[in-house]
Chains A and B, each alone.
Chain A
Amino acid sequence: MDDLPEKKKGTKSKKRSSSSSSAGVSRRDFLKISGVTAAVPLVNEVSALAAADQVRELGPGKVPITLSVNGKKMNAQLEPRLTLLDALRDKFELTGAKRVCDRGTCGACTVLMDDKAVYSCSVLAIDAQGHEITTIEALGEPGRLHPIQQAFVDNDAQQCGFCTPGFVMATKALLDRKPNPTLEDVKHGLGGNFCRCGTYAGMRLAVLQAAKTTKGA
């Protein structure tokens, strides 16, 4: 739904008119429209095909991909089907983000993409190009923990710890957005992640502690 105001803005912009097809809808706009009202044929078939013509075909073999991860440019030859998660874990050895459900349900793979929490199992590496990716590894490390990570330790908000990096990143995104969260905000902000050991009691306290200790950080 966030797309609607953007689209309105787009119709007025010069950039749009230069890149749009003769039917008056760019490919990006077409995707946005179809995303909002998938069943309504807003464009005719011809214009959709015309839009598709401009797409550069990639793969199925490996293609050069450049990602910006934790402030560093990372280059690799990757298949376009590879997810951002698998690229981080298997190609760049950033294994903090975990593959658990592998379908955008559990949040164990949460990373920040331009400061927004995303499920990296549900983003293709190729689509993550041009965005700034932040993983758990960038926050801190033992001996130099980020206040959120320290709060997870202090409040024992982890047991087996497999879900923990995802929760820490979700907390980061939450606190960036809402520096003074209520308990309800915490439940909502971390509602996209699952823990199996059952560490939510400590986690609630951890997020509230982190909110205090990250002030001004």
Chain B
Amino acid sequence: MADETTKYTWPDAGERTLIGKRVSRVDGPAKSSGRAKYTYDVHRPGMLYGKVVRCPYAHAKVSSVDTSAAEKMPGVVAVHVIQSPGTEIHWAGDDIVVVAATDEGAAEDALKAVKVEYEPLPHFVDDFTQPKNVPEEHGPMDQEDFITMLRNDAPDPQIISALQTRGITFKPEKRLLDRLRENEVSESVISALQAAQVKPSEDKAEKRYRKEAEQTKGDPDQGFKQAEVVSEGVYGCPVITHCCLETHGSIAEWPDKEHLFTHISTQNVSGLAGQFAQALKIPAGNVHVHQDHIGGGFGSKFGIDRWGAYTAEVSRKAGGKPVRYMLERAPELEVAGCRPSGYAHVRVGAKKDGTLLAWESESWGTGGPGGGGPPPMPYVVEIPNQRKQHVAVLTNIGPARAWRAPNHPQGCLITMAALDDLAAKLNMDPVELLLKNLSLTQRADVYREELAIASDLMNWKKNWHPRNQGGSGVVKRGLGVAIHTWGGRGHNSNCALTIHPDGSVDIKMGSQDLGTGTRTAILMVAGDTLGLPIDKIQLNIGDNEYPPDGGSGGSTTIGGVSSSTRRAAVDARDQLLAKVAPALNAQPQELEIVNQVIRVKSAPSRSMNWKDACARLGTQPIQVLGKNPGPGDLISSGVGGAVMADVSVDTETGIVKMNKMVCAQDCGLIINMKTAESQVYGAMIMGIASTLYEEKIMDPTTGAMLNPNMDFYRLAGIGDVGELVVHMMTGKGYDERGPIGLGEPPTVGPMAAISNAVANAIGARVPFMPITPDRVVAALNENEGGSHAAV
């Protein structure tokens, strides 16, 4: 048998029976027949329905709550005050009182009988206006400031210096430190955190802006001096919402006073018990979490959320009866998901031949009350001389949540749009400009190959034209390009695999399948390793009574579950081979399993079928636990992708039509080609929606969201997306890196590529997303010195 370091590897291309093939998702039939049960579909005996009174003000203090009349309403079983008098509310639609009743109508009627009085406070929802003359931040950092810095990948010395000079307002508890270590935060940052002075917090309520320390690299002044061409522009994208089709929510019940059982729509099955325990003051071991299917998460469903906790509370008040509360569409858009906005005023300088020299950006954006940090800029292309300044805008728009590839789409748009404008000024093909500067990226070879493939698929060389040459007609056509990246290293994962004496195999994992094809991928890895077809393996996921697995976010799932499953299956296989080797008169390492038959590699006729082999186990099944991280080098991190867009723009109406989009994407070793391609198609389509349609529109007067519905918060339809082409990078240079996550990277580039295609078509930059008809017309007018105000 191979030693520990070489035992856990991926099979070579020629030996793969399932890995890398096109396999239909195993839960496809359940989904397409309407039989898949989502949290929203679960009916529990005697189930009650929850409804919630929500705060109409964007900023207010709760003065009084009177639920006495509601409690007497027909059908009402329990009422629970979520945020009691004195609590400050920071966004419109925040949850105040929950009512549980025998049906939805009765609960809704009871809401009208709840009396809540508020003291309205001044609100602020304008993240679009560029903040000017904001003083530098000096006060102590709260936990959110600190986490934000980490999330934004601020360099370690900058974080340490901020901890030393500003101090902190919170005590770094063990729980936090453990979490930091789990997320591979460096020990120097952790010890600086522990050493930081704890100071009383300053009142942030009145603060609208928070300026972050200026970051410089190289010598930006010198860089701009040397630059022969400088391009300047302002770019950005607004807050958008996740708009999961299955809204957030759960069904909570108490089998007894100490135990909670909850079905919940979550990306984090194994990670919720502790959160529930803390909120409900019960031991984490008493919390049972279950989910079979989830109707979309996109980064917004990692926590139990306020509603997870109060649904459990109101169930407890109702004597433990099951209570279902799923958010209605309006609160789903108002309070359950915001991708932070990102805007920047950018200068970028280069030599005449396109060599990039200097970058300067003043950026701003909001992630709700916490502000939020700067997107990574300049994105992918590390321009040698930089000066960057970011101001976080603290608003009452609602709390930010991770949205596929947090901060990357914003950084990519701002950077790639600035580079595209620079290319236009240089009279250069933007693909040439990127190729010229690939040495400034971390993956020059990958991008070069992908740009070549994407160019071929788009017929870029033939179809591209300089700006203002989009044809003489009313409808102009243009092409745009962007490149993107993501980490995507596999998360912690545990795979419990059992081979039973009757030949059946089962796997238990506390993971979840968001529709990315996680179930299918796990089965393909196990099947490939054990020489079994996937329908011979029973897979159980979606329950926290199975071995814990990471939350599905940040493209970490495929690397995590595939490597823990591979390790488990290799161990189980080797134990089985050791058991049957004597009967086949061979050493275990001389055996292989091919299509349910165990045979001697050099003499395939000496064989035994799977069932007979397993029967030799007697009464004892083989039970193994495969882990990630673990022995052997199965996964890595860091991918590149290239996106190109082809659009037509009607210069009279301002309507943008997608003709075609192409993506060449790397994600290491691909487990299932079919679902991998689907990830990229889906990412491109989400990119089209966020570029052309999506915006959380806030009313400055009331501070409320104006479009919390799917008529005016528009997604892309089947007729809106044009032709889509996906090319997955495979083979040498890719496969040997092991599986790397794919959910995030292809969502990054589309917005920039489409924005650049529109600029190429009409000869003017539409600076802000979404690229709505009015903005196209305004950009055209401004370009021609027209009188229309730019939006």
Contacts and interface: CB of A to CB of B under 8 A. Distances in A.
Contacts of B41: 89, 95
Nearest to A61: B74
Nearest to B684: A198
Interface stretch (B220-228, B346-354, B379-387, B718-726): B718-726
A197 B719 contact: no
A97 B34 contact: yes
B735 to A, nearest CB: 22
A52 interface: no
A204 B718 contact: yes
Interface in B14-41: 24-25, 27-38, 40-41
A100 B296 CA distance: 12
Contacts of A89: 41
Given A196-B244, A198-B682, A145 B29 contact: yes
B34, B684, B724 — most chain A CB neighbours (10 Å): B34
A134 to B, nearest CB: 12
A142 B681 contact: no
Interface string A138-151: 01111101101110
Contacts of A157: 32
Nearest to A159: B515
B21 to A, nearest CB: 13
Nearest to A105: B710
A162 to B, nearest CB: 3
B674 to A, nearest CB: 5
Interface stretch (A6-14, A34-42, A79-87): A79-87
A201 B674 CA distance: 12
B28 A158 contact: yes
Contact of A162 (B24, B35, B295, B684): B295
A98 B724 CA distance: 28
Contacts of A152: 28, 31-32
Contacts of A217: none
Interface of B is mostly: loop
A97 B104 CA distance: 18
B711 A103 contact: yes
B718 A196 contact: no
Nearest to B28: A153
B105 A81 contact: yes
A57 to B, nearest CB: 18
Given A81-B105, A191-B717, A198-B716, A156 B33 contact: no
Given A105-B710, A164-B32, A196-B244, A201 B293 contact: no
A30 interface: no
Of the listed residues B28, B246, B684, the one surrounded by the most CB atoms of chain A closer than 10 A to its CB is B28
Given A102-B329, A156-B25, A139 B33 contact: yes
Contacts of A158: 25, 28, 31-32, 515
B678 interface: yes
Nearest to B717: A191
B458 interface: no
B79 interface: no
B294 interface: yes
Nearest to B108: A81
Contacts of B596: none
B697 interface: no
Nearest to A103: B709
Nearest to A168: B32
A107 B368 CA distance: 31
Contact of A161 (B36, B40, B298, B684): B36
Which of B32, B293, B682, B726 has the largest count of A CB atoms less than 10 A from its CB? B32
Contacts of B243: 196
Nearest to A190: B718
A96 B296 contact: no
Contacts of A82: 105
Interface in A137-186: 137, 139-143, 145-146, 148-150, 152-154, 156-165, 168, 186
B685 interface: yes
Interface of A: 79, 81-82, 86, 89-90, 93-103, 105-106, 108, 135-137, 139-143, 145-146, 148-150, 152-154, 156-165, 168, 186-188, 190-191, 193-204
Closest CB pairs A-B (n = 10): A96-B34, A198-B685, A162-B295, A161-B31, A198-B682, A160-B515, A159-B515, A136-B34, A95-B41, A187-B719
16 contacts: A94-B34, A101-B711, A141-B33, A142-B29, A142-B30, A145-B33, A153-B24, A160-B293, A160-B295, A161-B27, A164-B32, A165-B34, A196-B686, A197-B686, A198-B716, A198-B721
Given A159-B682, A161-B293, A194-B717, 8 more contacts: A99-B40, A102-B329, A106-B715, A108-B245, A137-B33, A149-B33, A162-B38, A199-B678
